[in-house]
Chains A and B, each alone.
Chain A
Amino acid sequence: MNISLSINGTTHDLDVDPRTTLLDALRHHLDLTGSKKGCDHGQCGACTVMVNGRRINSCLALAVMHEGDDITTIEGLGSPEAMSPMQEAFVGHDGFQCGYCTPGQIVSATAMLSELKEGWPSHVSDDLVSAPKMSRDEIAERMSGNLCRCSAYPGIVAAIQDTADKETT
C-alpha cells in the first residue's frame, strides 16, 4: 500500500505491506533506526514514539493506520550536535548503559512530562482529583513501561527530575 507518513515534520511517501508496523516502517523503510525493537509486543517500551504528541509503542501500531498523524521519533528530538534538554540530562546523569532502551526512555520521558503537566493522575497519585505533584515515585511509575535491563533506572529518574526542574524554573 502507498501511504504517506509525517515524521519529525517531514512527509515521507512509502509503499508498505499492510502488516508493516510503524516501528518496522521507521526502521526498515526509512532507516530511522533510533526507535528500537526490544520485544515487538508492547512489553518493553524501546520502540516508543510520539503520535500527535502522545507516547505509544510503535511496535503495536500498523503504519497504514497512521496516515495524517504527526509522528515524532528520537531523531526528531535532537541530534548529537544539538541534543534536547532531556537527551543532555540522560548523558549527564548516566541514564543509560548499553543504550538500546535509551531512545524509547527519552521519547517516553519527554511525552510523560507533558502528561504530568496536563494533570493526568497515575497509579501512585494519592489524590485523584487534584493535579499530581512531581515526585520520584510519580516519575518511576510513569516510566515503568520502559524496561532497562542494564538497570540505569536511578540515572533515568535523576535525568527526568533534572529536566523537569529546569523546565519549571
Chain B
Amino acid sequence: MTRHLRMDEPQARLLDETGQGVLSTPLPRPEGPLKVTGRARYAAEVTMPDMAVGVLVRATIPAGRVTGMNTSEVMAMPGVLGVWHGGKMLRNPAQGTANAAPVQPGDKVAYYGQPIAVVVAETFEDARAAGQALKIAYAPSNAEPDPDTAATVETAEGLDQGDLEAAMDSAAYSIDAAYTTPGHSSAPMEPHAALAAWEGDNLVVHGSYQMLKYNVNELADSLGIPPENVRIHAPYVGGGFGSKLGIAPEAVAASIASKELGRPVRVAMARQDVFEMTMRRSETRQRVRLAAGVDGVLTGLGHEDRVSNLPGESFAEPTVQATHFLYGGENRRYVQEIARVNRTCAGSVRAPGEAVGMLALENAMDELAEAMHVDPVDLRLRNIPDTHPESGVPYSARSLAECLRDGAERFGWSERGLPGERREGEWLIGMGVASAARANFIMESEARVTLNPDGTALVETDMTDIGTGSYAILGQIAAEMLGLPMDKVKVDLGDSAMPPASGSGGSFGAASAGSSVYLAAQEIRAEIARKLDCADDDLTLRDGNAVADNRKTALTELIDAPMVGHGHLEPGKTAESHSQAGYGAHFSEVAVNEVTGEVRVRRMLSAFAVGRVLNQRTATSQGHGGMIWGIGTALTEELQHDPRDGRIVNRDLAEYHVPVNLDVPDLDVMLIEERDDESSPIQAKGIGELGLSGVGAAITNAIYNACGVRVRDYPATPDKILAAL
C-alpha cells in the first residue's frame, strides 16, 4: 500500500488533531545511549575478516599531468598490497544530488591536494608509510590559483529589474559597499571513510555519506557497474555539513582496490585529506548596493559577487539566494562571476549561499540604518515585502516580523547604545542584529512503516542521521500518527536497500523524510479505519489503542498480521506558487578588546520560525549549531590558500579555527509557533541551515556598535579590528 502525494496544495493539519502528544516535544534522541557509550559504529569502525587498509596520496602541484610514480619501489615495502591511480579514481567528491560520477581525471591534476593514488597494505601503519614513500612525477602546467586574477571568469547574468543605477542616484540614502568572505571547510569531526567489499559482482560499502540513493548511483557510475549491484550502509554519520553529500574519492578508491585484491578494503581520509580533497565553500567577493527613500523603504537593491570553482564544475556558491526574496525594492540587479581556479573543489557547505551572502546583505542593512539614524530592527521591519519582489508570488508562512520583534524584546535590544558608549575595562560592548532567511524546499522521499501485531512499529528508510535528529523525529512522527508510545517505535536508517529518502542536505531532510513517514503512517491509519469500519477522520489512535465511535480497541487485538504502509512524497505546485523560506532574527552582544582587537561573543539570541517544530530539543540544538557556525564565520574560520599554488595552507584543526567551547557563550533559541501549509504535508520547514544564515552579520554589526569598526573582510580577526581601532 503506497500513499503518494505530490505537494500541489496545502494538506489538512492532521498532526494538530492526533492525540499521542509526542510530536514537537523535546524527547531525547533514541540513539543517544549508543552514541554516549561509544557503541554507535561509524564507517571506519566496521571490520571484516581479511580486511586491508588503504590511504590516499595527494597531488603536490596545482595543475599538470602525472607522468609516473615509483610504484615498484613502494610495492616492495612491508605489507604493501597494491597501488592504484588514474582510471576510475575521482578528482573530487560528487556535488550534492549529482546522481552521476564526478570528474575522473585520469592523469590530469587540477589542484594541489587532489587524490592521485590509493596505496593499500595489510595494516594502517604500513599503508601510511607506503603512501608517504610514493613519489609522483609530474609535468606541471600553468595554474590559476587566485580567483581575483584568474584568466577564465564566467559571468552569469542574474537579474536586471528596473533601473538600479537610477534608483541609487535618486535615493535619499544609499549604501554601496564591498565585502569579502574567505573559503570555509565543513570539517565534520568524522573524517570521510569507506569500507568496500565485493561479493561477486555486488558491492557493499560501509561509508559516511548524506544522500544514499544518489550516492549509490554516483558510485555505480564511477565504477561502471549497475546501481542495483551497489549497497551502501551509513547508519551513523559523524557530521557532514555538505561535505558528504556526494560520493567521495575514498569510496571509489576502496572499491577499486577491493575488487582487484579480492579482499575488503577500508580507506579513511586523514584530517589533512578532508581539508584538501572534500568540498570547500568558495571565497566570495561581494558588492551590495542599497537605495532607500526618506522613509527607509528600499527602492533598489544590487548584489553582485565573484566566486570560484574548478574548471567544469557546475556548482557556484548561490550567494544571493536570500537576497531575492528577503527585502523589497523594485529596482534590482544581480550578476555573478565564477572564476575558474586550481583550488580544492567548491561545493555545498552548510547553508550554501545564505551563509556568506547574508553577511554582506545584513551588514549593508546595518550600514543603511546607521546612515539614516534608524534602529536596524525597525529598518528591517519596514522592508518586509508584501509579495516576492521579483516573481510577485505570495509568501507561505513568514514570521520574520515576529522573530524581529519578539527576539528584540527578549534580548533586551532597547539597551543598545551608540558605538564606544559601553565599556568594561579594556572591553567595549556592543549589540547587533541580523535577519535570518533560508530558502525552503522539499525533495522526493520514500519510507516504509510497519505496524506489528505486538503493538510495535518499525520505520525504514535510507534516510541518514548526520546529527540532525532523524532517528528522533521520524520515530516521533510515526508514534504520533499511530498512537504509540515512543518506546514502541523503532527507526532503521542509513541502508540503501531501504526505501529511498531525500537524504540529508539543504535542510530538506526533516520535512521531506518526515512527510514520507507521515504518508506511510496515514496509509496504516486508513487500513485501521477500514478494519473498524469508520471514516479516516473519525479514528483516534492513542497509547496503543484505536478509538472510533466511542469504541476503544487495543491495536494488539485488532491486528493479526503486520500492516505495512509505504509513503512517497514529491514536491509539487506549492514550490512555485509560493515563496517558501525559514525566517528568523539573530541578536548578539559582543565585547571588543581595545588593546588587542580580540572579540568575544557574550550572549546571543536567535528567534526562528520554521513551520511545525518536530522536536523542540533537536530543533534547538540545530539552532545552536548554526549560531556557533556563525561565530566561526564571523570571527575565526578562514581557508588560507598559498598565493603561488592555491593549496590550502591551514589544512588541520590546529590552524583552521572552528570555534572551541570557550568561544561560545550562553545561547538562547526561540522557536516561534508557526505552520507552513505550503511547505509540506506536515507543515514543517528546515532549520539546520537557517541558524547559520545571517548570524555572522549580527556579530560584526555588534562589533561596529561596540567600537565603531566596520569589518567588511571576514573573518574579524584581531589584526583587522586593530587596523581600524
Contacts and interface: CB of A to CB of B under 8 A. Distances in A.
Q: Direct A–B touching in the complex (beta carbon < 8 Å)?
A: yes
Given A43-B653, A90-B36, A98 B664 contact: no
A6 B189 CA distance: 28
A24 B124 contact: yes
B38 A103 contact: yes
A147 B28 contact: no
B595 interface: no
A38 interface: yes
Nearest to A75: B38
B664 A151 contact: yes
B135 interface: no
Contacts of A80: 33-34, 37, 39
A40 interface: yes
A100 B188 contact: yes
A51 interface: no
Contacts of A143: 661
A36 B189 contact: yes
Interface string B36-55: 11111110110100000000
Interface string B208-246: 000000000000000000000000000011111100000
Interface residues on A, range: 35 or more
B37 A34 contact: yes
Interface in A42-100: 43-44, 46, 73-75, 77-81, 83, 87-88, 90-92, 94, 96-100
A154 B189 contact: no
B654 interface: yes
Given A33-B41, A74-B38, A124-B662, A99 B238 contact: yes
Contacts of A31: 47
B29 interface: yes
A127 interface: no
Contact of B190 (A24, A36, A83): A36
A155 interface: yes
A147 B617 CA distance: 21
Contacts of A148: 189, 661
A129 B318 CA distance: 54
B32 interface: yes
- Which among B126, B466, B624 has the greatest number of chain A C-beta atoms within 10 A? B624
B140 to A, nearest CB: 29
A81 to B, nearest CB: 8
Given A98-B188, A100-B239, A153-B628, A79 B660 contact: no
B86 interface: no
A33 B236 CA distance: 13
B625 A147 contact: no
B44 A37 contact: yes
Contact of A154 (B33, B239, B654, B664): B664
A149 B32 contact: no
A49 to B, nearest CB: 11
B123 interface: yes
Contacts of B270: 40
A148 to B, nearest CB: 7
A86 B285 CA distance: 45
B410 interface: no
A27 to B, nearest CB: 7
A17 interface: yes
B537 interface: no
A13 interface: no
A91 B35 CA distance: 9
Contact of A149 (B38, B47, B188, B621): B188
A91 B189 contact: no
A32 B39 CA distance: 9
B600 to A, nearest CB: 11
Interface in B86-144: 123-126, 129
24 contacts: A36-B190, A38-B190, A39-B271, A41-B652, A43-B271, A74-B37, A80-B34, A83-B33, A88-B36, A94-B618, A97-B239, A97-B625, A98-B239, A99-B238, A99-B467, A100-B188, A102-B35, A137-B662, A139-B661, A144-B660, A151-B629, A151-B659, A153-B664, A154-B666
Closest 5 CB pairs of A and B: A34-B38, A98-B467, A100-B238, A99-B35, A97-B467
Interface of A: 17, 19-20, 24, 27-28, 31-41, 43-44, 46, 73-75, 77-81, 83, 87-88, 90-92, 94, 96-103, 106, 124, 136-137, 139-141, 143-157
Interface of B: 28-29, 31-42, 44-45, 47, 123-126, 129, 186-191, 236-241, 268, 270-271, 466-469, 617-618, 620-622, 624-625, 627-629, 652-654, 658-662, 664, 666-667
